Chain A
Amino acid sequence: MSNAQIEIQLIASLVAIACAIPGTFLVLRKMAMISDAISHAILPGIVIGFIFIHGSFSFIDDFVVLSKFKQFLIHNGLESPFIILLASFTGVITVVLVEYIQKTGLVKEDTAIGLVFPALFSIGVILIAKNANDVHLDVDAVLLGELAFAPFDRLIVDGTDIGPKALWIIGGILVITVGLLIAFFKELKLSTFDKGLAASLGFSPVIIHYGLMTVSSVTTVGAFDAVGAILVVALMIAPAASAYLLTTDLKKMLLLSIVFGVFSAISGYWLARWLDASISGSITTMLGLLFLVVYLFAPSKGVIAVLYREKQQRTEVSLLTFLLHLKNHDEERERHVNHLNEHINWQKVRSKTVLDLALKNNMIVIDNNIVSLTAKGDKFTTQAIDYIITNEDAQIEDMKDDFFLFRG
């Protein structure tokens, strides 16, 4: 591996970590789409800051050079803390605007997000177009980052080369984020899971909320040049969502999402080299594959596990219905094997599954094609009825552990 390759992977990994930390909290606070809004809405902030410092974009005179717009921005603009701050500020303004519209109650919550950021983004695009003389502008230059160029952009202090600028920017942001995370971990945790308690204990939910929003904005701006606006969203949400399917412990979730992020960053880099395609696209694709695998195969919350559990519960509910039917009827006609599906209105296969399950669990005996409850089946049913009439259906689930040898 060459030096540049190592640097690219290092930058990608740092971006992944810096995004995963606020991302975890955004996912837990059901605010994931805010990251999408921020990542688009910072555009006018960047453009205004840029115009403020440099006057205009008149130096750009060709559409093809537009990918250089971003490079120029990084060379002359983004390094300036002023622009980073202004852009992050725009991100926070977005959140404030969204919340203001939500508060008026004129539209539903998510509509507010969807109204604000396209408008801000449009303003940004128009500002660029108006200030870049006669440039045919495509937005992709601003939306898509190109990590491959990052190592060529060195930070030189006193004539010595101390590494790529992007590395320093994102490294700095990461240090601040981690510092804040450690310092305010318990406040964040509490306000995420129990806002009311946090407020009553004296932690201002507003400060924590806007603190988190500010960190997300700064991270988005910092990651903007490395992975592009939309792919920041992927790095924020996907690792956190995958981790959330695997654990319910906040610390483990943070750790897992960092691991997922770094894994996708590095494997994505090699995928991009192999396919000769965009690095940020490959990283997102790896994130997507990772999420797909977790989504399908997560032990208790994955789709397969959920479908299996649903099927199991359906059979067990049927079993309970069946046992209740048996308990209610003494007459043999109602308990004859061949007529069972008529009486309970089930299909043949289902009746057979239920009957087999009941037999396996020693709940019933079949004598001369007449089904009757065993002592154990009777006890189970009686207890279940008790729970049902006292409205404690949830208890039945625990009871099943005591009675069932085999699950449905």
Chain B
Amino acid sequence: MDIQEYFSLVFSDYTLRTITLGTAILGAVTGMLGSFAVLRKQSLLGDAISHAALPGIAIAFLITGSKDSNTLLLGALVSGLIGTFWIRGIITKTHLKSDTALGLILSLFFGFGMLLLTFIQKQPNANQAGLDKYLFGQAATLVESDVWMMAIVTGICLFVLLLFWKEFKILLFDKDYAKTLGFNTKAIDILITSFIVLAIVLGLQTVGVVLMSAMLLAPAAAARQWTNSLGTMVFLAAIFGAFSGVFGTAISASQNNLSTGPVIVLVASFFVLISFIFSPSRGLLFKKIRFIKNRRDLELHKTLAFMYHIAETHDNISHPHEIKILNNFHGFTRATLNKLVGKNYVTLQGTTWCLTKEGFESAANLYNQLNRNDE
């Protein structure tokens, strides 16, 4: 199946439609909430929580004995929340730093989860097969009810986000100010963290624990490059996330042997790469271009200043001088000279140059910051 075929099938084929919708919704909601995680410097929280959810899944299965995905997700949610709050406890109550706390909870919870999973596998209960799909994610196992579940959760997230938009925003950028305004920062904090945990848990089934953190981060990191406004960023991140989901599914469906999760992550990483390079205000490419342009301007100024200092010593400022006395050291190149001529600061006569009155004046004001036109 090639990509074209995929797009013609996506509206008719049940499985494809379900998976595509599921990954798109998932991408949108993780992108949305991921923006908050990234801006709150909790980028790796996603990684930690997705691993920390594992023992919850195992324990939920041990208690209920059923593989109903909602029960298991509830277990994952509880265990993810416990992990999150323990991380916070470690950071606030001890002198261990956040990276250590994250790494600890991530690995310890995951190891405990593995212990439980292998323990369950040895139990005489034929029902346990397939529990590990939560571990590593199989988009192919998504069914319509899962997609509905995701859609409902996304709806609730969106509603709460809009309802508490200004609280979230103010908490994000100025926590102390929020506190002095009388907002209950702790409650808002818990609310947004819980939603992040919820989004991560939802994604486990689709992309798995390892790659879930990228789903949370990548769209948000990409969106961050294009805007400085929170609203736009959240919106863009949702779009990037949804497109990563759709393209990832399309690419993986069009080839044999391509698991969906990794492809979605690579598509999202590709978005990040593009954003890093091509974003107009922050991107590396334009930064480099601006850098070169600034350097050229500086050289131009240097040449002009040098000319000015020579012209200063003469009564007639437009007294001609040999081009030869200018050199590289003064920022001189053919191009800079021509540029100066173009700006009407200098006139050329044969092998000599002379400063015009305009050029003289703008050179005199070069370091006064008064003349903004000579850039």
The chain A residues found within 8 Å of chain B, CB to CB, are 27, 30-33, 35-36, 40, 101, 104, 106-108, 110-111, 113-115, 118-119, 121-123, 125-126, 129-130, 132-135, 137-140, 143-144, 230-231, 233-234, 236-238, 240-241, 244-245, 272, 275-278, 280-285, 287-288, 291, 295, 301-303, 306-307
- Chain A residue at minimal CB-CB distance from B105: A288
In contact, A303 and B44 (Cβ under 8 angstroms): no
- Chain A residue at minimal CB-CB distance from B114: A281
Among A111, A121, A139, A285, max chain B CB count under 10 A is at: A111
In contact, A275 and B99 (Cβ under 8 angstroms): no
Given contacts A104-B276, A281-B118, contact A230 B51 (CB under 8 A): yes
State which of B46, B47, B102, B269 has its C-beta within 8 Å of the C-beta of A32. B102
In chain B, positions 257-298 with a C-beta closer than 8 Å to chain A are 257-259, 261-263, 265-266, 269, 272, 276, 282, 284
List 28 contacting pairs A-B, 8 Å CB cutoff, sorted by A.
Answer: A27-B96, A30-B97, A32-B100, A113-B43, A113-B44, A114-B43, A115-B214, A122-B262, A123-B262, A123-B266, A126-B263, A126-B266, A143-B136, A231-B107, A234-B107, A234-B108, A234-B110, A237-B100, A244-B100, A272-B115, A275-B115, A276-B119, A278-B117, A285-B108, A288-B108, A291-B108, A301-B94, A303-B93
Among B97, B115, B221, B261, max chain A CB count under 10 A is at: B115
- Chain A residue at minimal CB-CB distance from B215: A118
Decide if B112 is an interface residue (CB 8 Å cutoff).
yes
The segment from B24-32, B72-80, B205-213 that touches chain A is B205-213
Interface string of B79-94 (1 = CB under 8 A from A): 0000000000110011
Given contacts A233-B106, A238-B108, A245-B94, contact A275 B119 (CB under 8 A): yes
Given contacts A123-B266, A280-B111, contact A138 B132 (CB under 8 A): yes
Decide if B186 is an interface residue (CB 8 Å cutoff).
no
Query: Shortest beta-carbon distance, B324 to chain A, in Å?
Result: 42
Given contacts A276-B122, A281-B115, contact A139 B136 (CB under 8 A): yes
A-side contacts of B334, CB under 8 Å: none
In contact, B136 and A303 (Cβ under 8 angstroms): no
Which 10 pairs between the two chains have the least Cβ-Cβ distance?
A284-B111, A118-B214, A281-B115, A234-B107, A122-B262, A281-B114, A288-B108, A278-B118, A32-B103, A119-B269
In contact, B114 and A115 (Cβ under 8 angstroms): no
Query: Shortest beta-carbon distance, B323 to chain A, in Å?
Result: 41
Number of interface residues of B (CB under 8 A): 62
A-side contacts of B135, CB under 8 Å: 140
How far is A282 from B114 in the complex, measured between Cα atoms in Å?
8
In contact, A244 and B96 (Cβ under 8 angstroms): yes
Query: Shortest beta-carbon distance, A25 to chain B, in Å?
Result: 12
Among B103, B117, B132, B135, max chain A CB count under 10 A is at: B103
In contact, A122 and B265 (Cβ under 8 angstroms): yes
How far is A130 from B284 in the complex, measured between Cα atoms in Å?
33
Decide if B200 is an interface residue (CB 8 Å cutoff).
no
Decide if B38 is an interface residue (CB 8 Å cutoff).
yes
- Chain B residue at minimal CB-CB distance from A227: B111
B-side contacts of A107, CB under 8 Å: 38, 43, 221, 224
Decide if B217 is an interface residue (CB 8 Å cutoff).
yes
How far is A237 from B104 in the complex, measured between Cα atoms in Å?
6
State which of A33, A240, A277 has its C-beta within 8 Å of the C-beta of B44. A33
In contact, B266 and A295 (Cβ under 8 angstroms): no
In contact, A27 and B108 (Cβ under 8 angstroms): no
Among B94, B116, B217, max chain A CB count under 10 A is at: B94
How far is A32 from B100 in the complex, measured between Cα atoms in Å?
5
How far is A403 from B325 in the complex, measured between Cα atoms in Å?
81
Interface string of B41-62 (1 = CB under 8 A from A): 1011011000100000000000
- Chain A residue at minimal CB-CB distance from B284: A104
Given contacts A33-B44, A36-B47, A138-B132, contact A230 B103 (CB under 8 A): no
Decide if B225 is an interface residue (CB 8 Å cutoff).
yes
State which of A104, A114, A137 has its C-beta within 8 Å of the C-beta of B47. A114
State which of A33, A40, A285 has its C-beta within 8 Å of the C-beta of B99. A33
Given A33-B47, A33-B103, A234-B107, 11 further pairs, Cβ under 8 A: A32-B100, A107-B38, A110-B44, A110-B99, A122-B262, A137-B259, A277-B116, A284-B107, A284-B110, A295-B90, A301-B95
Decide if B351 is an interface residue (CB 8 Å cutoff).
no
State which of A104, A122, A137, A244 has its C-beta within 8 Å of the C-beta of B211. A122
How far is A143 from B51 in the complex, measured between Cα atoms in Å?
12
A-side contacts of B103, CB under 8 Å: 32-33, 35-36, 233, 236-237
In contact, B265 and A129 (Cβ under 8 angstroms): no
A-side contacts of B284, CB under 8 Å: 104, 106
Query: Shortest beta-carbon distance, B188 to chain A, in Å?
Result: 21
A-side contacts of B208, CB under 8 Å: 139
In contact, B266 and A122 (Cβ under 8 angstroms): yes
Given contacts A125-B262, A126-B263, A275-B119, contact A36 B106 (CB under 8 A): yes
A-side contacts of B256, CB under 8 Å: 134
Decide if B337 is an interface residue (CB 8 Å cutoff).
no
Decide if B218 is an interface residue (CB 8 Å cutoff).
yes
Query: Shortest beta-carbon distance, A312 to chain B, in Å?
Result: 15
In contact, B97 and A33 (Cβ under 8 angstroms): no
Given contacts A31-B99, A230-B111, A284-B112, contact A111 B265 (CB under 8 A): no
- Chain A residue at minimal CB-CB distance from B97: A30
B-side contacts of A301, CB under 8 Å: 94-95
B-side contacts of A236, CB under 8 Å: 103
State which of B112, B210, B259, B276 has its C-beta within 8 Å of the C-beta of A285. B112
Given contacts A135-B257, A295-B90, contact A114 B217 (CB under 8 A): yes
Given contacts A110-B43, A238-B104, contact A144 B114 (CB under 8 A): yes
Query: Shortest beta-carbon distance, B114 to chain A, in Å?
Result: 4
In contact, A111 and B107 (Cβ under 8 angstroms): no
Given contacts A138-B132, A231-B111, A277-B119, contact A126 B258 (CB under 8 A): yes
In contact, B41 and A108 (Cβ under 8 angstroms): yes
B-side contacts of A126, CB under 8 Å: 258-259, 262-263, 266
- Chain B residue at minimal CB-CB distance from A283: B111
Query: Shortest beta-carbon distance, B58 to chain A, in Å?
Result: 10
